[in-house]
Amino acid sequence: MPDSSQHDGSAEILRRWYELGRKFLAAYPEGRTPHGAIPAFAAENGVSLDEVQKAKRFRQLFTERDFRMITTPKRGTPLGWGIVRKLLSVGDRSERMKIAKAAIADGMTVSAVSEHIGGKYQRTNPRGAGRKAKRASSDSEWWVRVDRKSTAWLQTVDDRINDVADPASPALGGAIEESLSRMSVMMLRLQKALSRNASPSV
C-alpha cells in the first residue's frame, strides 16, 4: 500500500466539499430548491453561493467509488479541489473519469487539466459556426441547458480572475460590474418565471 499520509490534506478538503454537497441534497432531495434556500444554506455553512453549487454538483457527479478513486489512488497523485472543480464541467462520466485518471497518473496541474478540457470540449467547429442551437424539446431539457451554461460561465469567470495579475484592477472591476448588471436583469426574469410556475392553478 502506498504511503498516502502526505495527501491527507487534499483528501480531507475534498471530503468536506463532498459532504457539504451531500448535506444540501439531503435537505432538498426533490431537485427543486425553494427560493432563497441556497443563500440561506451558504450563510449557514460559511461558504459562497458558487461554492454551494459546486459542492452540490460534486456530490451529484461523483459516486462514492469515484470519490475514493480520486482521493486514494493506488498509484499517482490524488486530485485536489482545484482540479475537481474543472472536472465538474465534464458532463459525461466516462470522459470525466478518464481525464481524472490521466491527471492522477501524470500529476497534472489545474492549468493543464483546464487546457485539456478546453481543447476537448470548447474548440469551435467551423462547420457548425453560425448554426442555431436546436430548440429544447421540454422544459426540463431547457433547464438542464441553462444549468450547464451557467456552470461553464462561472468557471470561465473563475479562470479569468485567477489568471489576472491584479484582480483588483479597475478594468476587471468594470467588466464584472457590467456582467453582474446583466445577470441581475436575467435573475429577476427567472424569479418571476419561478413565481408563476409555483403559483397554484385556479
pLDDT score for 201:
43
Q: Where are the domains of the chain?
A: 7-127, 137-198
Residue 165 has pLDDT above 60, yes or no: no
User: What mean pLDDT comes out for the span 88-99?
Assistant: 92
pLDDT score for 117:
86
User: What mean pLDDT comes out for the span 75-96?
Assistant: 91
pLDDT-above-90 percentage for the chain:
38
Residue 142 has pLDDT above 60, yes or no: yes
Q: Which residue has the cell 476537448?
A: 120
User: What mean pLDDT comes out for the span 149-158?
Assistant: 65
pLDDT score for 40:
92
Q: 7-127: what fold?
A: Arc Repressor Mutant, subunit A (1.10.10)
Residue 109 has pLDDT above 80, yes or no: yes
Mind giving me the DSSP string for 115-159? Answer: HHHHHHHS---GGGTTPPPPPPSSHHHHHHHHHHHHHHHHHHHHH
pLDDT score for 134:
64
pLDDT score for 57:
93
3-state secondary structure of 202: coil
- Count Cβ neighbours within 10 Å for each residue of 131-147 and write b for 16 or more, e otherwise: eeeeeeeeeeeeeeeee
Residue 5 has pLDDT above 60, yes or no: no
